[in-house]
Amino acid sequence: MALLDILEYPDPRLNRPATPIVRVNKDILRLADDMAETMYDAPGIGLAAPQVAAGQQLIVVDISENRNELLTLVNPEIIEAHGIEEMKEGCLSVPGVYELVQRAERIKVRAQDLQGKPLELEADGLLAVCLQHEIDHLHGRIFVEHLSRLKQNLIRKKLTKRQRQAG
């Protein structure tokens, strides 16, 4: 396993839609392992392949306190969404920024597991928010894009300045 570099907003690669995975092979399995290791190390509760410059529809999520309930989804899609909930979100690609975002309160997701078997799961609360956040990444959407233009511009300027100072 290896730690991967996490792209930071406003890197344009974060806005590219990911391509579906046709077949789970050893490269996908390695990517999933590396993504999980990277997410835990960051530390975060979710990571999508586009965040590590891998343009494929793969996400890893673990919202458990003990960090022992890893959920890896291939080609996830939201097939049902109900209610509205507002929760403070952050993102490994937008370090140090936490903002309130409105999302569906309950969702149903269709995906495949790492053996290529289809699965469906229902989620609410933090898991629903996390899944929606990571699936957004697969469509080239960052959580700050749910915010007002003014907030987006302020965040972009702040992170661009920080990147210039660090680099």
Q: Active-site positions? A: 134
List CB contacts of 26: < 8 A, sequence separation 6 or more: none
List CB contacts of 105: < 8 A, sequence separation 6 or more: 82, 83, 84, 85, 124, 128
| CB contact at 8 A, 36 and 72 | yes
DSSP secondary-structure letter at 145? G
Give CA 124 to chain center in angstroms.
Answer: 16
Name which of 141, 108, 100 is nearest 124 in CA terms: 108
Given the DSSP bridges, would you call strands 46-48 and 58-61 parallel, antiparallel or unpaired?
antiparallel
- CA dist 46 and 67 (Å) reads 11
